[in-house]
Amino acid sequence: MTTNGPTAPTAPAGMAAAASAHVPYAHPAMSPADRELLLTSVRQVATDPEQKFILGRRCAALERALRDRTGAGDVIACGSGTGALSLALRAARIGPGDEVIVPAFGAEPLAACVLGVGATPVFADVHPDSGLLDPADAERRVTARSRAIVPAHVFSSMADMPAVCELAARHRLEVVEDAAVAQGATLRGRPAGTWGDLGLYSFYPVKPFGMAGEGAIVLSDDTELARATRMLRNHGQDGVNRFLHHEIGLNSRFDEIHAAFQLARLPALDELLARRRAVADYYSERFAPLRDRGLAAPEPGADGRCLYVYAVYTPHRDALARHLAAHGVGSRVYHPSPLPRLAAFAPARTGDGPAAAPWPGADRAAARHLALPLHPHLSPAQTRQVADAVCGFFGLDGPDGPDGPDS
């Protein structure tokens, strides 16, 4: 064998490197260390004389730690990623009569939260081989009623935030950056979530800094937007005087047990992200020669790369998924339909205006994307097994081919 092929990432300490007969798409089991830490967090909060279970000192400490880590002006912890997006839109004073430009491909809350504040989602097309918002198409959909744009980082990549921010400045739009999947990602040295007027991360269990339950943060450098978000998450109270409601808010408060758990895990976050990045980089190196054979994969390198889901795009998606399953590799399709083609959003696509325009990129992204296993618990042998199976489908390398990690 040759010796110039990419090398599979090293297994974390204590992880067996033996090949698995089956590589599951996800790793649902909590690690023993995290399980013990969660139990410790429950005991700490339950036995604390303060007996404060939401929005206590641990929550405040987590907000400070994440503010320091990201460089954001303020960080506000809240109940979920969906709640974070709703809070951000409310804080930006988006409401009835307003239009908000959202990607036509992505998670349901992108449009649902806009409808939830009484505004109208206007669906902009995406790049077919990344699922990311197309800034040029988004600009074509700006009208006199446009108030905000919600770029979303998708799967493996950050949106083109410089281009989004430039078009937002031209049209005086608020930018609500949906970085739910992108904690740890940076673009041009700037962390995901800090590009927009408001940004958000999700701590849903499978996210890069996922935890044992729901939770999220909103980030903002704007003092007034941060103040409004902090008040809105707790029924419009200011956090000083209870039962004095300054406006109608939400119940989107953060749990003290979760805060203790996340605080204790924060020092290890970079190591967890590094494990994910090693797997993603290995895939990207192995798949680079496949672009001419019909597979679009994320480019290698850290700039603009998210470490949530490793998605590839191919017109042979369903056949590839069957091939992977036959070779013991799990995979997943996340968004089988563009958002505007879902029945839930039929009212938002009616009429003859920009909202009713076609979305060919979103149609292609929905029909072509396939997510491969990406989590910190993959062994080197499992990582190689995934890459070998993908390459084998496209006729490049067998299980013992020259690009294998053990070459």
Top-confidence residue, 236 or 93: 93
Query: Which of 99, 117, 108 has the alpha carbon at shortest distance from 354?
Result: 99
Mean pLDDT along residues 84-112: 97
Q: Is the pLDDT of residue 103 over 90?
A: yes
243-288 pLDDT tens trace: 889 999 999 999 999 999 999 999 999 999 999 999 999 999 999 9
Domain spanning 268-393, CATH class = alpha beta
Amino acid at 388: D
Percent of the chain with pLDDT over 90: 83
Q: Is the pLDDT of residue 24 over 80?
A: yes
For residue 397, the model assigns a pLDDT of 67
Q: How far apart are the first and last CA of the chain?
A: 5
Q: Is the pLDDT of residue 353 over 60?
A: no
Which residue is associated with the tokens 């704007």? 222
Q: How confident is the model at residue 16 (pLDDT cuts 50, 70, 90)?
A: very low
Q: How confident is the model at residue 351 (pLDDT cuts 50, 70, 90)?
A: very low
Q: Is the pLDDT of residue 407 over 60?
A: no
329-339 pLDDT tens trace: 999 999 999 99
3-state secondary structure of 152: strand
Mean pLDDT along residues 139-165: 97
Q: How confident is the model at residue 398 (pLDDT cuts 50, 70, 90)?
A: low
**Yes or no: is domain 34-267 CATH 3.40.640.10?**
yes
The pair of structure tokens assigned to 15 is 């992880």
For residue 29, the model assigns a pLDDT of 74
Which residue is associated with the tokens 């980030």? 219
Q: How confident is the model at residue 30 (pLDDT cuts 50, 70, 90)?
A: confident
Average pLDDT, the chain: 91
Q: Is the pLDDT of residue 22 over 90?
A: no
Top-confidence residue, 348 or 369: 369
The ranges assigned to domains in the chain are 34-267, 268-393
| Residue 226 to residues 136, 219, 262, Cα–Cα distance (Å) | 30, 7, 21
Cβ(200)–Cβ(85) below 8 Å: yes
Percent of the chain with pLDDT over 70: 91
For residue 291, the model assigns a pLDDT of 95
Cβ(376)–Cβ(28) below 8 Å: no
Lowest mean pLDDT among 210-224, 280-294, 348-362: 348-362
Q: How confident is the model at residue 165 (pLDDT cuts 50, 70, 90)?
A: very high
Amino acid at 156: S
Cα Rg of the chain (Å, integer): 22
Top-confidence residue, 324 or 375: 324
Query: Which of 271, 290, 289 has the alpha carbon at shortest distance from 10?
Result: 271
Distance (Å, rounded) from C-alpha 84 to C-alpha 218?
Answer: 6
DSSP code string of 246-263: SS---B-PPBHHHHHHHH
268-278 pLDDT tens trace: 999 999 999 99
Other CB atoms within a 10 A radius of the CB of residue 65 amount to 16
